[in-house]
């Protein structure tokens, strides 16, 4: 009962194996921050879907020291109950303007695809979806995004935000890689009208701003602000 947060030491594919063993009622009885990213997306999604637990998509113990100063500041401010808006005018690329409001679903693209069709798949209708990935070439990113699109998972979003995508052999800001990513996302969401941003500072690099998974938020493209509503 005295523990206020559970922070992963590192990521790991074993998170997916754990889902069938969790007693979600315990999270409801003793709610606390569950903190992590990458493969931890599976645990964040499952505990929110089954226990209503708002988690924290953010650094793990092994990555916190390497996080940049702004990411550390954001992380510790959220832990102490400060939910300031993300003001990202100089960082975010607005791919499609507009406003959108909904609960945040944030995580690793590969892991979210692995959850499709399982009892722990996040319900995406009416949500702002934030995606990131690392070490994947563009053709694999394309394939996973296309899977989400063909499965109808983009159809009823209220916003889409792309974080960092590190292809492993190419820098995340490589112009060709970035152009292909943005172009494909716009193609797959052409039938929708929600706002879409790129280059949001979260993912597998030192810029990994912590984001409350499951919390209500609003996107405002005019000011490139993501405002949290902890309610």
Cα of 168 vs its chain's centroid, Å = 20
Hey, which residues does 94 pair with through a beta bridge?
A: 197
Active-site residues, by number, are 38, 132, 204
Rg (CA), the chain: 16
CB 91 within 8 A of CB 223: no
Query: Residue 95: how many CB atoms within 10 A of its CB?
Result: 20
Distance CA 99, CA 195 (A): 6
As separate numbers, helices (DSSP H) first and strands (DSSP E) second, the chain gives 8, 12
What is each CA distance from 99 to 30, 49, 87, 102, 221, in whole angstroms?
35, 25, 15, 11, 6
């Amino acid at each position: 009962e005295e523990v206020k947060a559970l922070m992963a030491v590192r990521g790991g594919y074993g998170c997916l194996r754990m889902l069938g063993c969790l007693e979600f009622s315990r999270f409801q009885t003793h709610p606390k921050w569950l903190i992590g990213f990458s493969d931890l997306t599976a645990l964040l999604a499952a505990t929110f879907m089954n226990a209503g637990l708002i988690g924290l998509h953010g650094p793990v113990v092994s990555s916190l020291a390497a996080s940049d100063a702004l990411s550390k500041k954001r992380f510790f401010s959220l832990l102490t109950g400060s939910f300031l808006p993300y003001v990202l005018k100089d960082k975010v690329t607005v791919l499609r303007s507009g406003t959108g409001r909904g609960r945040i679903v944030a995580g690793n693209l590969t892991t979210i695809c692995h959850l499709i069709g399982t009892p722990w798949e996040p319900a995406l209708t009416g949500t702002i979806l934030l995606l990131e990935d690392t070490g994947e070439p563009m053709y694999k990113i394309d394939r996973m995004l296309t899977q989400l699109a063909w499965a109808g998972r983009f159809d009823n979003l209220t916003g889409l935000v792309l974080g960092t995508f590190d292809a492993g052999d190419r820098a995340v800001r490589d112009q060709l890689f970035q152009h292909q990513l943005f172009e494909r996302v716009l193609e797959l969401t052409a039938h929708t009208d929600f706002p879409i941003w790129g280059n949001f500072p979260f993912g597998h690099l030192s810029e990994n701003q912590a984001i409350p998974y499951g919390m209500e938020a609003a996107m405002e493209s005019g000011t490139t602000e993501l405002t949290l509503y902890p309610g």
